[in-house]
Structure 1
Amino acid sequence: MEIDPSEVEAYLTHLFGTDVQVLALEPIGDSGTAAVTKTDGRRRPLKMYGYGQPVLIHYQVAGQEHRAVLRTMAPSPFGHEYRADRAAGLLLSYDTFNNLPRHVHALDVGVLISGHRPLSLRHGGEFFLLTDYVEGELYARDMERLRDTGTLTDLDVRRARRLAEYLAQIHAVKSDDPALYRRRIRDLIGAGEGIMGLTDSYPPDFPLLPAGWLEQIEKACVSWRWRLNRKTHRLAQVHGDFHPFNVLFSEDVEFCLLDRSRGAWGEPGDDVSCMTMNYLFFSLQRSESLAPPFQELWDVFWNTYLEITGDQEMLSVVAPFFAWRGLVVASPMWYNIPDAVRMKVFRFIENVLREDVFDPTRVNEYIY
């Protein structure tokens, strides 16, 4: 990484609203090459090996010399694998440093853009994302129609098959990053959007659950984490939130996806459980079991995926992902469904966590 003193100078001039002269840039805690020296005044880019090393900036305003530190964050296996992780850490630092007595003050927070030019973000509020607009109908509308009418069409079957084929295709792209796989499993259990975040979202003394039930589910999932931690060879390209409300069909079997979540790489069982849990969920609303027409979609999806991938090992890792997705669809925060449906989802969660290997043909045993 190279940082150009002239770019830092322009940035500081804009930040302080007055002319700034950069006198020197030098890495802190390293014998690396300084960018500018006070003695020769020559402007040489500061060369550093990657991110994470603080840079000491010597600068001058109206003849008065000052110093500041430019800090970046390096990728690490401690929750800093993604650029979003590192951005979150630095934004939190800016938001909190100046509120604590005797803490070093944060002057600004920003981003290094092309050419490693600093750009201030301190006046920003909430971040936003701008995307394309795509025409289509949510796959969830198909689920609702099947729930309400029970009439299965050839198109329904072909769409389920196409979605399974798509997952088989993207999951074939693998990544060799054991620490990242373990991170994804850790997030499954302990992240705010994961199992513990969901269990915390249930009302205290939820009347449908016996005392301690959610605690026991958490403990069971932690045990599963230690089984899955050894499966790092499974790290693959994923969507991360592959459910019917994130799939838009335009016509026939053509579709587009919305809201990829939680990173580019993960456990394939995440995507498969996410979609198939919804087949079970809508079937429970109609029949209080996995039954036609959703039984056909469930079978087509699982059979297609396993036939293409040959990934029988998924059946020995998918249980905690089903627990996670089950806690979502059974949550009183998200869905207004009969208590009988919630109870069958809760039993499904309990029973799949007890099994070493999930059997897609035994679903109706798991809900009783």
Structure 2
Amino acid sequence: MNFDRYFKKLFGEDASIINRDELGGKDSIKGFGYGRPLHIELDIDGERKDVVLSTMKKNTFGHDHFSDRAQILLWQHNTFNKLPKHVKSFDVGFFTNKNELISARDADEFFIVTEMVEGSAYANDLDRIKDTGRLKGLDIERTEILASYLTDIHSVKGKDEDKDLYIRKVRDIVGHGECIFGIIDNYPDDLDYITPKELCDIEKGCIELRYKLKRLKNRVCLVHGDFHPWNILFKENNDFTLLDRSRGEWGEAADDVTSLTINYLFYSLLQEGEIKGSFKRLFDTFFNVYLEKTGDLEILETVQLFYIFRTLVVASPVWYPSISDLVRRKLFNFIYNMLECDRFEYEDAGRYFG
């Protein structure tokens, strides 16, 4: 690691390193990079300056992912100097895979650049079916393709060190700002079809489901994390591209399964007012293919919490402001039934909306 070049950029060309060692009296930097702070003694134009260069240790307290640790360090740099008598932060940066130290102190927003892909969102297929009432052979084929794709990625099982990420995934589904607690926080307090007290009771029930799932961390597998119809772009030849993988590489297969299949149920309510017809056929097709290929009948005991999350999204007046209160009440019936359901009977999914 070229510490000299970095500190010259930070403090000027007159800066030079006198000594460096781990805090705590060690004279080696062998363990640096795993959360051990490094003490750096500098000479800057004849004056001594002591600084500490720290990384953050990977652990299961919300620091599992690189992005978690980056978020915290960026926040610390932005706030340390605003608090009286707090230790000052000079910079924030990152190590590259070439062992270079790069400053990020002037960053205003981070960004990502991705390739441009062609295709039509799978949601457009669902809109067409709803509007025309007609199901094509193409629609059955695409449902089978998506079920088979999830079968393939979910067959990649996590290692022992990934099992804690299963617990993290389940915890995030409940408490993450993008998930159940965050979605509920954005429900207005004056709705006709749901009260704050009822939403609070739903949250409590979700915590109980979380404790049930925590025992199943051996199920950890490769996941997409946000496998919904707007993140799936189909081409005319039925090849497809996925967008916006979210909230971690490893988790519970039910996360992806429910992210897609809740839309078959939702669109059926919009089209028929109940679970039947074209979208029920797509729903059944998906589960039949997925269960036949995976043999994972246990997933019928893990979908409940994830269906609650996805149903809270489609029932939300923020995300779907124009659907009727009647449809929303049926969606909340589904949520209440998921809270009490030990094993999801997908063949008779309509009864959960009553």
Q: Is the shorter-chain TM-score for this pair beyond 0.5, marking a shared fold?
A: yes
**Structure 1 residue 178: Cα displacement:** 2.5
Could you report, residue by residue, the CA deviation over 1:276-323 in whole angstroms, capped at 9, with x for unpaired residues? 001111111111112221111101100000000010101111101000
What is the aligned counterpart of 1:97 among 76, 80, 91? 80
Q: What is the CA distance between 1:226 and its match in structure 2?
A: 0.7
Residues 1-368 of structure 1 aligned to structure 2 (within 5 Å)? 4=1, 7-29=2-24, 31-33=26-28, 46-48=29-31, 50-175=33-158, 176=160, 177-335=162-320, 336-368=322-354
Shift of 1:30: 5.4
Equivalent position amino acid for 1:103 in 2: H
Q: State the SS of the aligned residue for 2:128.
A: helix
Cα displacement (A) at 1:343: 1.2
Q: Using a 3 Å threshold, how does the CA distance of structure 1 residues 211 and 14 change in structure 2: closer, same or farther?
A: closer
Shift of residue 191 of structure 1?
A: 1.0
In structure 2, relative to structure 1, the CA distance for the partners of 1:30 and 1:141 (3 Å cut) is farther
Distance in 1 separating the partners of 2:120 and 2:164: 38
Q: Distance in 2 between matches of 1:167 and 1:30?
A: 51
Maintained 8 Å contact 2:189/2:195: no
Check the 8 A contact 1:11/1:119 in 2, yes or no.
Answer: yes
**How has the CA–CA distance of structure 1 residues 32 and 157 changed in structure 2, closer, same or farther, with 3 Å as cutoff?**
farther
CA distance in 1, matches of 2:163, 2:249: 14
Determine the C-alpha separation between the residues in 2 that align with 1:294 and 1:32: 66
Q: Secondary structure at the match of 2:235?
A: strand
The 2-side partners of 1:130 and 1:361 are apart by 42
Alpha-carbon separation, structure 1, partners of 2:95 and 2:20: 16
Unmatched segments (≥5 aa) in structure 2: none
Displacement after TM superposition at 1:252 (Å): 3.1
Residue 66 of structure 1 aligns to a residue whose secondary structure is strand
**For 1:77-128, what per-residue CA distance to the aligned partner results, in whole angstroms no more than 9, with x for missing partners?**
1000000000001011011101111000000000011332210001111110
Q: Secondary structure at the match of 1:251?
A: coil
Equivalents in 1 of 2:187, 2:25: separation in Å? 50
Q: Distance in 1 between matches of 2:226 and 2:27?
A: 44
Q: Over residues 210-254 of structure 1, what are the superposed CA-to-partner deviations in whole Å (9 max), with x where a residue is unaligned?
A: 451101110111000110000001100000000000000012321
Change (3 A) 1:26 1:367: same
Structure 1 contact 277–326 (Cα < 8 Å) conserved: yes
Name the stretch that deviates more: 357-366 or 315-324. Answer: 357-366
Structure 2 CA distance, aligned partners of 1:362 and 1:212?
A: 29
Matches of 1:359 and 1:32 in 2, distance apart?
62
Identify the range of structure 1 (204-213 vs 131-140) with the bigger mean alpha-carbon deviation. Answer: 204-213
* Secondary structure of residue in 2 paired with 1:168: helix
Deviation at 1:18, TM superposition (A): 3.6
Displacement after TM superposition at 1:25 (Å): 1.2
Work out the CA distance in 2 between the residues paired with 1:363 and 1:17: 67
Which runs of 5 or more structure 1 residues have no equivalent in the other structure? 34-45
- Contact in 2 for aligned 1:315/1:357 (Cα 8 Å): yes
The answer to whether the Cα contact below 8 Å between 2:331 and 2:353 also exists between their aligned partners in 1 is yes
SS at match of 1:161: helix
Q: Distance in 2 between matches of 1:317 and 1:49?
A: 40
TM-score, length-scaled by structure 2: 0.97
> How far apart, CA to CA, are the structure 2 residues paired with 1:65 and 1:115?
29
Identity of aligned residues (%): 45
Give the letter aligned to residue 100 of structure 2.
R
The alpha-carbon deviation at position 265 of structure 1 amounts to 0.5
1:19 to partner: Cα distance: 2.2
